[in-house]
Structure 1
């Protein structure tokens, strides 16, 4: 019975992949024929089936861009970039879409050791850093064994120095892996979908207005209180926005 269920599951999954592939090609054909609304409907049907991919989000971003839908185009490009963070084409199209936004916000660069460590941790995904630390640990064990069993003085010295260096790098890469994981977990990007959104100093309508944001602007969500989100923008300013005015990038 279990084998039968497994076979049925595999068959259903295969049929689902085949159907989604056919729908994806159909949507691409509609896009190429400049039928962007129809293409989006077809892409959305793939999303509704539970499939999520960088290519799907990228193409949805392209269709919205063609329709001059600022916020949705940036939103889907950002979702694609989460899945393929080093993709040049996604980055380029995202840059074009951001040119349509009204808010010109200067990015405050991270300085000092903290900023440098963040850049190192973000250079690879934290799982890659973990694999690097594991590889270095294996290399340390091999070199230490060479040092322990070798009789030649020069060979022992070289093996010892290299093994100690590998051990130090193990700790560094592990630190980068843990820090990278924290950065990923704390990264909660969102896109403003309201045409114009009043950012308040406190999470209530009676509080004073801190500043305004317009559709397509990317923010970082720091906290949630009822139907309000505390956000931070690229220049470091913070405030509270109504939850309905923004859309979290990491949501499926």
Structure 2
């Protein structure tokens, strides 16, 4: 009998090939992608930014459709393209996620503009809320998730900071912001960063695979300012995790790193 893990692997290797030589993902990479897809399907994260290889948004849609046809996904996940980046979105969870952020005004952004001596909590709350409202309206529109990729119009995101946008869409408790009209540098060079990660395991037949569900950082100097918010975020994630039985061994790790440069 073919296990669900084997179907995830064969489906990824069939539909997510990339490059002229149609290079296939390794079995381990396929299982990483599978866990991320299951997490979005199960409501453990509102979206996944697909970056395992250079597969197109259309290939990703074919991959999802094949998994749904085989009964491996319970939710009609949506593929959204933003400035050439492909996201897999749980539309219902995304709408409730954005609505909750706006209602509780809990959009934490960290200003890391390069001219600052150190990172600071951003005062861009109103602009960030406008972005969240616009994205919520986009997802409120009716979309045929199975037949086409939803493309976010450039006139919507042209003036937005995509780093902040993706942080919000991926469900991080805090996002970075910088003035991209002035460049893409930041002030995080040699700045102590608290890197937090959430890990889970998937036992599919005889295969057992661990994967990082979330990974985000906060400047150490601001950790005490955001600690309570991150604790609430972690508690909510634990609660969601307890309501499903597909993924196991939820764990949270934290370390402080100092890097010579940080790309956002």
Same fold (TM over 0.5): no
| Structure of greater relative contact order (alpha carbons < 8 Å, 6+ residues apart) | 2
The TM-score, its normalising length taken from structure 2, stands at 0.28
Structure having the higher helix fraction is 1
